[in-house]
Amino acid sequence: MATLGLSAADREAVEAFRRDVVEPSMTSLVILDFWAEWCGPCKALSPVLEKVASEYAPKGVVLAKINVDENRAIAAQFRVQSIPTVYAVFQGQIVADLTPARTERELKSYLDQILAQIPLKGGGEPAQDVAPLIAMGEEVLEAGDAERALSIFSQISELAPEDPAVISGHARALLAAGRGEEADALIAAVPADRAKDPAIVRAAAAIALAREARPVDDLDGLSQRVAANPDDHEARFELAGGLMASGDRDGAADALLEIIRRDRAWNDGAARERLLKLFDAVGLADPWVSAQRRRLSAILFS
């Protein structure tokens, strides 16, 4: 953690952080709790963290608490925007976001998953099976917290930089955070022999859709235009893009399927091509995609 340009008090806080968090994390899993005296939820969560940390101490877990009012530089480095924010830190790196865990049972579940993946004895490198951490990042991304998801995937990328699922999650988090060029560059750097991995295809499709599906200022007006002339496929296609950009994938799929139903060859099959791209972006294993594929098949083979 850089100290250049910090005040004497902030430099002291950084040194304390290294002593109390970074150094212990070399051999232990540190639960890092960002809190404040005025924060009611923080006070409610604190006994849970303390109890679980005490129970898990024999397994190599320790608790460190950072008062954000007294350690603004530390909180800024970790991009803490709301509290309580709770991370799991191992060997100086965030390996998981524990903030969603608000009960003893939930916190223990997170810790059990993490402890199964990292070597707390021997000081070796973190294990490369990061599936539980990826799942955690995907959950945060799906919930719409782009910045937190980006923080999680950035840290996982240090553990498994070549894992397609990690690259995909990192790219999609960058995209959700409004950093499309960085997402594009990340996927463009993937070697050709891994470019067809489903996870990479998913991220590439999401980037392509973000580039193609532009926000529409007047969705209602466009909807009325389509209602007045159902065969105005250009307007319906634009409506699908606007709905997609606003996060309404159901509405976007409905619009694209309707174009296909009315004229599947319109604009060289542009509606079907965009719909398939949407399927890739959501993920082909997603139940929503399976349901929409059945609708598409019913239209194509009716």
Could you give the residue numbers annotated as active site?
Answer: 39, 42
Q: What are phi and psi of 78, to 5 degrees?
A: -95, 5
- The strand pair at 61-67 and 93-97 is best described as unpaired
Q: What is the DSSP letter of 130?
A: -
Q: Which helix (H) or strand (E) holds 85?
A: strand 85-90
Distance CA 192, CA 280 (A): 18
Q: Are 94 and 77 in contact (CB under 8 A)?
A: no
Distance in Å from the first CA to the final CA of the chain: 62
Which amino acid is it at 45? L
Q: Which residue has the tokens 């995937």?
A: 153
Residue 45 C-beta-side C-alpha neighbours within 13 Å: 24
How many Cβ atoms from other residues are within 10 Å of residue 132's Cβ? 17
Nearest of 212, 206, 130, 198 to residue 171 by alpha carbon: 206
User: Which of 95, 107, 92 shows the shortest CA–CA distance to 46?
Assistant: 107
Beta strand 85-90 with 93-97: parallel, antiparallel or unpaired? Answer: antiparallel
Cβ neighbours for 247, distance < 8 A, ≥ 6 positions apart: none
